[in-house]
């Protein structure tokens, strides 16, 4: 088989397309992503719906449309997932892996079946977590896809890879996060708040405070470790532009906030007052 379909979009889809182009003469692209479409060669083709193509092999990267059981019976579909399956099946697998303090993070190339991220594994990439941000982890995943996806898919078609069934007893499931999930929960441990600042980095939303029912991203912060009893999430001090907020094991000090809706920048001291509960 020297023809494959790529369905999806996003930055990693660009790397996926480049990798597949090295191993397949023709790639049929099902994508509205202009950055991905710009990488198509003259011999590649565009398709509106991969269900209408006679090509039976499909690779999904950032493809969010639900695929029916009927389609799965007529196509072999390979999916890419940013977590070490069988754990963290579903959306935002990397984020949930990090927030669960996994010692290893990773990426899975697997076959798709009718259940969420349940299909047999073709290959996994993993690395030890050493305080990388989510963006740094995604960069590692992107490089892995660029250098390996085409090889894995080609080797699968040549039966050089034996798919491995997932151990369902180890499976966990997670769902998509939204802006409200980015708001700091001051009932959490300081370790969890620290980790949130490693997870939520640009180009993603930053950790947030909810002030008068409006969301503000924290653009400047530091931690002061000092243990004493005080209401959690309460503003305990303001010095110049710096606002001190009590956490379980210390104080979160913030100085610059960005209104999520408008992207307006504010001094934290202009929005918060001593004694305020967050």
pLDDT (tens digit, 9 = 90+) per residue, 231-267? Answer: 999 999 999 999 999 999 999 999 999 999 999 999 9
Q: Return the pLDDT at 156.
A: 98
Is there a single domain that holds both residue 71 and residue 154?
yes
Q: The domain that contains 90 carries what CATH number? A: 3.40.50.170
Is there a single domain that holds both residue 137 and residue 244?
no
Domain end point (choices 174, 197, 219): 174
Domain range holding 206? 179-271
**Is 1's pLDDT higher than 80?**
no
Cβ neighbors of 276 (< 8 A, separation 6 or more) are 234, 235
Q: Return the pLDDT at 246.
A: 97
Instruction: Tell me, yes or no, whether 229 lies in a domain.
Output: yes
Domain end point (choices 174, 209, 233): 174
Is there a single domain that holds both residue 188 and residue 156?
no
Given a contact cutoff of 8 angstroms between Cβ atoms, the answer to whether 150 and 19 are in contact is: yes
Q: Return the pLDDT at 87.
A: 98
CA distance 195 to 188: 11
Is there a single domain that holds both residue 189 and residue 53?
no
Instruction: Tell me, yes or no, whether 10 lies in a domain.
Output: yes
The 10s digit of each residue's pLDDT in 149-190 is 999 999 999 999 999 999 999 999 999 999 999 999 999 999
Model confidence at 109, pLDDT cuts 50, 70, 90, reads very high
Would you call the peptide bond into 166 cis, given omega within 30 degrees of 0 as the criterion? no
The 10s digit of each residue's pLDDT in 122-149 is 999 999 999 999 999 999 999 999 999 9
Cβ neighbors of 151 (< 8 A, separation 6 or more) are 19, 23
Q: What is the 3-state secondary structure (H, E, C) of the chain?
A: CCEEEEEECCHHHHHHHHHHHCCCCEEEEECCCHHHHCCCCCCCEECCCHHHCCCCEEEEECCCCCCCHHHHHHCEEEEEECCCCCCCEECCHHHHHHHCCCCEEEEEEEECCCCCCCCCEEEEEEEECCCCCHHHHHHHHHHHHHHHHHHHHHHHHCCCCCCECCCHHHCCEECCCCHHHHECCCCCCHHHHHHHHHHCCCCCCCCEEEECCEEEEEEEEEEEECCCCCCCCEEEEEECCEEEEECCCEEEEEEEEEECCCCCEEEHHHHCCCCCEC
Given a contact cutoff of 8 angstroms between Cβ atoms, the answer to whether 98 and 199 are in contact is: yes
Q: What is the pTM of this model?
A: 0.94
- In the chain, the percentage of residues whose pLDDT exceeds 90 is 97
């Amino acid at each position: 088989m020297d023809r494959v379909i790529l369905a999806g979009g996003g930055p990693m889809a660009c790397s996926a397309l480049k990798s597949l182009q090295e191993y397949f003469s023709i790639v049929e692209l099902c994508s509205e992503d202009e950055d991905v479409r710009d990488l198509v060669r003259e011999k590649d083709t565009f398709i509106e719906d991969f269900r209408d193509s006679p090509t039976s092999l499909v690779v999904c990267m950032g493809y969010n449309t639900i695929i029916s059981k009927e389609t799965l019976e007529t196509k072999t579909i390979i999916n890419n997932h940013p977590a070490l399956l069988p754990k963290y099946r579903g959306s935002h697998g990397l984020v949930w892996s990090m927030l669960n303090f996994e010692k290893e993070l990773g990426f899975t190339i697997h076959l798709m079946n009718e259940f969420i991220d349940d299909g047999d594994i073709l290959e996994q990439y993993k690395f030890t977590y050493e305080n990388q941000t989510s963006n740094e982890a995604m960069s590692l995943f992107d490089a892995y896809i660029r250098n390996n996806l085409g090889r894995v898919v080609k080797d699968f078609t040549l039966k050089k890879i034996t798919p491995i069934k997932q151990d369902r007893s180890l499976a966990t499931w997670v769902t998509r996060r939204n802006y409200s999930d980015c708001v700091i929960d001051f009932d959490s441990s300081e370790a969890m708040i620290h980790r949130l600042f490693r997870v939520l980095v640009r180009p993603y939303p930053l950790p947030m405070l909810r002030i008068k029912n409006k969301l503000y991203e924290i653009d400047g912060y530091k931690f002061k470790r000092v243990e004493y009893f005080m209401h959690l999430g309460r503003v305990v001090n303001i010095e110049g532009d710096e606002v001190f907020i009590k956490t379980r094991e210390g104080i979160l000090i913030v100085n610059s906030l960005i209104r999520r809706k408008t992207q307006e920048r504010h001094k934290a001291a202009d929005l918060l007052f001593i004694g305020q509960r967050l």
